[in-house]
């Protein structure tokens, strides 16, 4: 396994979640009056997509992908823990695995890499939530 193989494998696992959310939002945007007005005025499909729909879903797509970065970190750590990660590199999952298999296992050997994984996943999740709070206009009006 190489870095590229690992990235592709994790990406293939994560893409369906992103595409499901983005597709739902595209279908929702497609039914809006401004899109119907553009169709009535004779706008082409690429123009409608790039001028009307894409700018309205870009924030959502970025937020979903940012939130799923934590899932990608967790997946890489799990694959490394199981021995399916990159063999010649040091990763948090491999550190936890080595601490688990050592002759004198102590909680500290596994705690610090595990805490680093947990804090990284939590950080990406909170970052995605903060982006959602900033980008969602409905939440902005509720806070005021």
The model's pLDDT over 20-56, given as tens digits with 9 standing for 90+, comes to 989 999 999 888 899 999 999 999 999 999 988 988 8
Tell me what pLDDT residue 23 has: 92
Q: Is the pLDDT of residue 144 over 60?
A: no
Q: Does residue 122 carry a pLDDT above 80? A: yes
> E-assigned strands of 58-124?
none
CB–CB of 68/18 below 8 Å? yes
What are phi and psi for residue 122, nearest 5 degrees?
A: -65, -40
For residue 142, the 8-state DSSP code is: H
Structural domain boundaries, residue 137:
3-143
Residue 67 main-chain phi, psi, to 5 deg:
-65, -35
Using one digit for the tens of pLDDT, what is the confidence trace for 71-115? 899 999 888 888 888 877 788 888 888 887 776 767 777 888 889
CB of 109 closer than 8 Å to CB of 102: yes
- Give pLDDT, residue 12: 92
Instruction: Identify the residue with better confidence: 1 or 124.
Output: 124
Q: Count of domains in the chain?
A: 1
d(CA 108, CA 88): 23
pTM score, two decimals?
A: 0.73
């Amino acid at each position: 396994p190489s870095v590229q193989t690992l990235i592709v494998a994790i990406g293939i696992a994560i893409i369906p979640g992103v595409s499901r959310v983005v597709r739902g939002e595209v279908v929702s945007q497609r039914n809006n009056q401004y899109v119907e007005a553009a169709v009535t005025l004779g706008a082409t499909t690429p123009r409608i997509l790039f001028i009307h729909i894409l700018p309205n879903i870009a924030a959502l797509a970025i937020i979903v992908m940012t939130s799923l970065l934590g899932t990608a970190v967790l997946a890489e750590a799990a694959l490394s823990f199981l021995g399916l990660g990159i063999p010649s590199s040091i990763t948090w999952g491999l550190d936890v695995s080595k601490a688990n298999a050592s002759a004198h296992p102590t909680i500290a050997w596994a705690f610090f890499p595990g805490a680093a994984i947990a804090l990284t996943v939590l950080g990406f999740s909170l970052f995605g939530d903060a982006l959602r709070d900033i980008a969602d206009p409905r939440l902005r009006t509720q806070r005021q």
